[in-house]
């Protein structure tokens, strides 16, 4: 027993060395390429044009919420049969170019954007290269990066019109985080939301005035 107790500290040290330090949070760097596309990596780049992704970023584009009017029957059917999803990131010029192409053609799409390390981790399942923009049409993913010819060809093959047929008051959806983190409700500022919350809160009840005819000591 004495020998076992004497070896215990050495065994504990061996286990600690084998297990190694606890894994730290995944550091993700955003690298902008010459063509404006964005690549995410967990290896610190040697160049100085990379930024550490920390989350909380928002896109400056598209103050929009939802379609103001129903889609035409043809587009509604296409949206169901061949949904268009574009994966983007803030500060990505190639992503903006791709979004502009979709809007000019009047293609209803959904946009999933990478704004946090958790988003980048989830994006690995879609593209191991971790490069955006990435377009998916009818569940088929194109090569990462913006290529107008390839994007138009995929949209043509899916049957989308080459010129917009959207209603004039159609509003494209706002970008959503890849991991599903929703922003504040569109159209409501923080002050408005606070006021709405206060308005919906139960108001304190007010006691009625005392009845002069009530028996002594009686209270409502």
When pLDDT is averaged across residues 39-49 and rounded to a whole number, the result is: 73
Name the residue with higher pLDDT: 10 or 40. 40
Q: For 92-104, how does the pLDDT look when each residue is reduced to its tens digit (9 = 90+)?
A: 999 999 999 999 9
Class level of CATH domain 28-177: alpha beta
Could you give the CA distance from residue 166 to residue 43 in angstroms, rounded to a whole number? Answer: 43
Domain map (residue ranges) of the chain: 28-177
Report which of 66, 153, 152, 151 is spatially closest to residue 110, judged by C-alpha positions. 66
pTM: 0.64
> Which among 126, 62, 67 is positioned nearest to 90, based on CA atoms?
62
């Amino acid at each position: 027993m004495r020998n076992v107790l004497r070896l215990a500290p050495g065994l504990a040290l061996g286990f600690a060395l084998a297990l190694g330090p606890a894994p730290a949070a995944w550091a993700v760097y955003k690298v902008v390429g010459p063509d404006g596309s964005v690549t995410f990596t967990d290896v610190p780049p040697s160049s100085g044009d990379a930024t550490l992704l920390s989350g909380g970023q928002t896109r400056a584009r598209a103050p929009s919420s939802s379609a103001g009017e129903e889609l035409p029957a043809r587009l509604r059917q296409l949206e169901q049969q061949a949904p268009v999803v574009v994966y983007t990131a803030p500060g990505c010029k190639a992503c903006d170019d791709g979004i502009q192409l979709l809007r000019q053609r009047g293609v209803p799409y959904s946009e999933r954007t990478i704004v946090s390390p958790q988003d980048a981790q989830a994006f690995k399942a879609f593209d191991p290269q971790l490069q955006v923009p990435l377009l998916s049409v009818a569940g088929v993913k194109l090569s990462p990066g913006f290529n107008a010819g390839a994007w138009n060809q995929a949209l043509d093959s899916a049957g989308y019109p080459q010129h917009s047929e959207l209603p004039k008051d159609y509003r494209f959806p706002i970008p959503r985080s890849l991991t599903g983190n929703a922003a504040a409700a569109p159209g409501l500022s923080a002050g408005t939301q606070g006021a709405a919350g206060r308005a919906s809160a139960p108001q304190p009840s007010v006691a009625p005035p005392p009845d002069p005819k009530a028996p002594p000591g009686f209270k409502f």
